[in-house]
Structure 1
Amino acid sequence: MVKHYQHILLPLDGSPLAELALADAFAVAELSRAEITLLQVIPPIDHVIASEAEHPIFVDQQWEAKKALAREYLLSVCERVGCPDVTVHTAVEMGPAAETIIDYAHHHPIDLIVMATHGRSGLQRWVYGSVADKVLRGATQPILLVRAYPENPAKG
């Protein structure tokens, strides 16, 4: 029996690595007739930024500016993918990446998370950590990890 997903979460950080999961996420969505939410997580803003001495830009204003840029990016991804058979939603959240992805999936009707990963192992994984690894360990939904660069690429 084939499982059909209803709502897929695809976290994107604006990098080409993260976008490698687009094709797989949309393929699963088309097969399952699922909806997709593209999520961008913005790191926490914990300080005041002064643009000019008498006109500081406070955290709320900085958040709104970053959120607008993130929405523009997510909409551009929707246009590039151009998949008319899939309903696509966008969301922008602020917080630590892995924890925010897990929290978003927990509080929304998500039944599959699709993410790209470097596929690091051993010391590299321990030193650099991995958002995908943290989500894998913390989320309750199934997760499809798309490896960015296979360890043994096929020759041909």
Structure 2
Amino acid sequence: MVKAWGEVGIGSPAETIKKYAKKKGIDFILMATHGRSGFSRIVLGSVADALLRESRIPVWLIRAGIPEKKVKDLSPQGKVLVLLDGSKRSEAAIPHVEALAKCFGAELTEVELVSVCSFPDISSDLPSHMPMSWSKQTAAEQAHSKLSAEKYLKNIAAHLLDIGLKVKWRVLTGDPAAEIIGYAGRNNYSLIVMATHVRSGFSRWAFGSITEKVLMGVTTPIFLVRSK
């Protein structure tokens, strides 16, 4: 049974929510988007965006209009997708994954770690006389980048396995936002967990823009953590 109560605040929505959450020691803020546009720039630019910029409390976003079953699927048996880019700041999501697992039952929750290696398509720009050795070097560098990503995810997975979680990991290649949206759409995740405003790591994600694209491209609830 979940204990619930209601209070009405007066003032700026974001500021009022932020102060209330801090005063009450709230662990995360759960909110739904509104309007037909779902996770639109307007929505994120107002309350949710302000909370992410001005508060350290994670924001759990649920898209308005999605089937009730999709929301209820966030259960101890649910699958959680965790997005990482290889940077320390993206790992701000990990402690919250651990806390969610404890809340819903670590022995039952399945966690999948995913990162995307983004390689520019330069084949069409290469001169016809470009040495084959250059092409081989580029391919070798890309392979090394993917191996680095795999090693990184294995290390994170090992830590989560040690605390009793069921963990899988996968490295995707291509455009980060498109790959994440497509992968999430092909798998029945209960929740996506990701840190915001990450701009470093082997994938070199511009995580602020990727976050927005993912928000607009999926119907899965998203747990956003502000990185330091």
* Smaller-chain TM-score bracket: 0.7 to 0.9
Q: Summarize the Cα distance change of 1:89–1:47 in structure 2 as closer, same or farther, 3 Å threshold.
A: same
One of 22, 28, 32 as aligned partner of 2:94? 22
Distance in 1, matches of 2:193 and 2:89, equals 13
The equivalences for 1:40-119 within 5 A come to 40-47=115-122, 53=131, 55=133, 56-57=135-136, 61-81=140-160, 83-118=162-197
**SS of the residue 1:44 aligns to:** coil
**SS of the residue 2:146 aligns to:** helix
Preserved contact between residue 46 and residue 59 of structure 1 (Cα < 8 Å): no
- Could you state the TM-score of these two structures normalised by the residue count of structure 1? 0.74
Preserved contact between residue 14 and residue 73 of structure 1 (Cα < 8 Å): yes
- Unpaired runs of at least 5, structure 1: 120-127, 150-156
Relative to its length, the structure with more strand (as a share) is: 1
Distance in 1, matches of 2:156 and 2:99, equals 15
One of 51, 66, 75 as aligned partner of 1:4? 75
Q: CA deviation at 1:118?
A: 3.2
| Structure number, greater radius of gyration | 2
- Aligned-CA RMSD value: 2.9
Identity of aligned residues (%): 33
- Unpaired runs of at least 5, structure 2: 3-73, 199-206
Distance in 2, matches of 1:62 and 1:46, equals 14
- Could you state the TM-score of these two structures normalised by the residue count of structure 2? 0.53
How many residues align? The count is 139
- CA deviations on 1:56-99 (whole Å, 9 max, x unpaired) are 41766554332211100111222344543211111011122122
Distance in 2, matches of 1:4 and 1:97, equals 27
**SS of the residue 2:188 aligns to:** coil
